[in-house]
Structure 1
Amino acid sequence: MDKYMKQNLMVIIWMIFCTGIGLSCSSCHAGERQPIIKDTMKPPETNSGSTAMFADEQVVKFLGAEQLELIRNVENVEAYQVDWTKNFAKATLFVQGFPVIAKGRNLSGDQTAILKRMIASEKSYEFQWSKRTRVRPSYMLRLIRGEDQLDIAIDFNSKQWTFFYKGNIVEEDISENSAMPVLKKLVDSLFR
């Protein structure tokens, strides 16, 4: 057997080995119902502890410590339905330049805890993918702590969210498997 054939054989054996591991691991959970927010997501901390302990490392890099500190210690979360076309003529209230169509209920303590957990977990984002579409939000969440606020624009159609904080704007894809179902359910409950 020449060197080339040995390398190919090793690659094939490695692929079979990896496939076998994947199949055996996925079969462990066959038929089980998994919770939408998994236990592996880090729970939000109270006012004690650092931002680094509150959020996954990749989320800290994405949002920044100052934004995460506001999220961790948020006092109130308001919800708005907005018109992304910015053509809502009757609007008297605007959030980040988007006219407000309706104001939803403020998030409860439990709902805020879910949102904080979602934002802090890297599983809520699709960091490895990037879309070339503009975010066209239907909803905005305003997180408030004292005079400080952070706005989150949510676009369920393109599965993206944008974070607005002190003139800084960052956007990312929302994880379709972990965060999207929870976020939809959460937002829907605020406008019923």
Structure 2
Amino acid sequence: MFTGIIENLGIVEKLEKENGNLHLTFNSSITAELKIDQSVAHNGVCLTVVNIENDNYVVTAIQETLDKTNIGALKVGDLVNIERAMKLGDRLDGHIVQGHVDQTAECISISEEDGSWVFTFEYDKDLSNITIEKGSITVNGVSLTVVNSKINQFSVAIIPYTYEHTTFKTLNVGDKVNLEFDVIGKYVKRLNDLRQ
């Protein structure tokens, strides 16, 4: 389980295809603290550390992950949001995040708002995911609060600290992001759907 509070930015050092899998090598200042078989969220995608060498570590994404996230679109030199799994007993500063991406969305607008930024995203409503006003959403692994919730669209307001310490500073209109919708909201929606 994760919180959506980003610890560090990682840099893609190497990408290596093997059959339907993609091995991704990242450089990060927290590499020395990692261990093999540890779960680490990369842009909100929970991946397992399979190798560590100096300041670099390797994770493997299977075809299912590549099909449903933006991980397969990464290029050498790209930045990713990194978060290690939550320790039992730690504060839950963000919200409950599983590291299981529900779908991707496209950034459709970015506006600067006197020292902060508002990012708006559009997603495929046919996958039956929903947002609610002032509810939680995870965008590329970052725990955020929904504003301007619509059927297939929502916005998030980004403070300067989050902008500088996450990949939001490199995000452009047209970029794809990973979305993990609020787990409690998903269960409520599923129960409601079963009653109908």
Normalising by the smaller structure, the TM-score range is under 0.3
| Greater strand content | 2
Q: Which has the higher contact order (CA 8 A, sep 6+)?
A: 2
Q: How does the TM-score come out when normalised to structure 1?
A: 0.26
| Greater helix content | 1
Q: How does the TM-score come out when normalised to structure 2?
A: 0.25
